[in-house]
């Protein structure tokens, strides 16, 4: 074998070696791709849930349909006392305070005796009774003192209060009396309506909307700052679902669509929203059954299945 033949044979062997290595890498890549596809196929695509389990876990579905979103404008204000819930009590006739029957903090009912007064003119004694039910919040007289036309006691009933909301000029044309309002104070929320609107005192550049507050719980303290969301109209949308339908999964926004006993996670695109509903722009069709309550339980089941936990 001469030198040229030996060189050619060596080059051919090298070429075959390179081709064999490339084929090995190719088959390995295909095998990995097949493994990945197999894992993807094994990943669960739905959750199976019987009617009995739905009832057990309070999972509720509803038919996807058009809806009406509430349009609101945001305002801020303060809780103040209702003038009708505060009474400053004086004696009808000047005289001597014979006895004060109550003290600060005492609860009283309408008609309860608060004090006994002896008239200067007739020297007869008469009773002062509470004009309302509530609590004694101030006492300015003691036994033996002269009344002299002064306030003797103050009674307040703070189970009623008022939210005074500032309405600025750009909002004023959209807001009127009787409109519904959602009041918020930290975690507290209450539905009410505007009783009336007045100009602001001291030439402030806004109007004031007065909103009645039910403060029977005592959780709406006087002076507290509140937010008010005034409903100024509605927007009709082609498809809307309760906010409780929406879940986040692997960075995607999803809902669960029911087909028989199978619940499929479906990626959705959201539109406008209010405090209850959210517009669904894409991902769900009208008439499909969607989980609207406790959908987070289905998300938890799906994650457990992906993790291979069958417990």
pLDDT digits (tens, 9 = 90+) for 185-195: 999 999 999 99
pLDDT digits (tens, 9 = 90+) for 67-122: 999 999 999 999 999 999 999 999 999 999 999 999 999 999 999 999 999 999 99
H helix intervals, the chain: 3-42, 51-56, 169-172, 295-306
Predicted pLDDT of residue 49: 86
The domain ranges of the chain are 1-42, 46-69+236-306, 72-82+159-233, 91-151
Half-sphere exposure at residue 233, Cβ-oriented, CA atoms within 13 angstroms = 6
Query: Residue 309: which H helix or E strand, with range?
Result: none
46-69+236-306 and 72-82+159-233 have identical folds:
no
Residue 202 gets the label, from left (phi > 0), alpha (psi -120 to 50) or beta, of: left
Give residues with Cβ within 8 angstroms of 88, minimum separation 6.
Answer: 151, 153, 154
CA geometry: angle at 78 spanning 77 and 83, to 5°? 125
Specify the CATH architecture of the domain 91-151.
Beta Barrel (2.40)
Specify the CATH architecture of the domain 46-69+236-306.
Beta Barrel (2.40)
SS3 305: helix
Backbone Cα Rg of the chain: 37
pLDDT digits (tens, 9 = 90+) for 255-296: 999 999 999 999 999 999 988 899 999 999 999 999 999 999
Q: What is the DSSP string of 133-173?
A: SEEEEEE---TT-B-TT---EEEE-TTEEEEEEEE-HHHHT
Predicted pLDDT of residue 259: 94
Mean pLDDT, all residues of the chain: 87
pLDDT digits (tens, 9 = 90+) for 110-145: 999 999 999 999 999 999 999 999 999 999 999 999
CATH code of the region 72-82+159-233: 2.40.30.170
Whether pLDDT at 20 is above 80: no
Residue 97: count other Cβ atoms within 10 Å of its Cβ: 19
Predicted pLDDT of residue 250: 87
pTM attached to this predicted model: 0.64
The two tokens of residue 140 are 């300015």
- How far, in Å, CA of 130 to CA of 197, rounded? 31
Whether pLDDT at 27 is above 60: no
Mean pLDDT of 169-188: 94
């Amino acid at each position: 074998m001469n030198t040229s033949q030996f060189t050619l044979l060596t080059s051919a062997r090298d070429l075959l070696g390179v081709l064999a290595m490339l084929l090995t890498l190719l088959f390995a890549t295909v095998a990995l791709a097949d493994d990945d596809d197999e894992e993807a196929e094994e990943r669960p695509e739905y959750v199976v849930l019987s009617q009995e389990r739905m009832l057990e876990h309070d999972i509720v579905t509803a038919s996807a349909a058009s809806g009406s979103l509430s349009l609101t404008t945001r305002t801020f204000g303060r809780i103040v006392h209702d003038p009708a819930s505060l009474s400053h009590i004086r004696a009808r006739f000047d005289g001597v305070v014979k006895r004060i029957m109550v003290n600060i903090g005492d609860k009283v009912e309408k008609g309860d005796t608060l004090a006994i007064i002896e008239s200067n003119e007739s020297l007869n004694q008469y009773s002062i009774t509470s004009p309302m039910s509530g609590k004694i919040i101030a006492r300015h007289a003691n036994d033996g003192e002269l009344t002299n036309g002064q306030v003797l006691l103050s009674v307040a009933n703070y189970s009623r209060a008022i939210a005074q909301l500032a309405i600025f000029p750009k909002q004023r044309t959209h807001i009127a009396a009787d409109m519904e309002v959602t009041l918020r104070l930290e975690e507290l929320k209450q539905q009410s309506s505007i009783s009336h609107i007045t100009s602001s005192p001291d030439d402030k550049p806004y109007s004031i909307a007065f909103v009645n507050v039910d403060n029977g719980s005592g959780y709406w303290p006087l002076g507290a700052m509140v937010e008010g969301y005034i409903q100024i109209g509605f927007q009709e949308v082609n498809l809307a679902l309760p906010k409780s339908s929406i879940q986040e999964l692997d960075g995607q926004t999803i809902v669960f669509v029911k087909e028989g006993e199978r619940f499929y996670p479906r990626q959705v695109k959201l539109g406008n929203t209010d405090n209850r509903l959210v517009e669904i722009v894409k991902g769900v069709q009208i008439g499909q059954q969607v989980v609207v309550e406790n959908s987070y339980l289905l998300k938890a089941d799906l994650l457990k299945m992906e993790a291979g936990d069958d417990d």
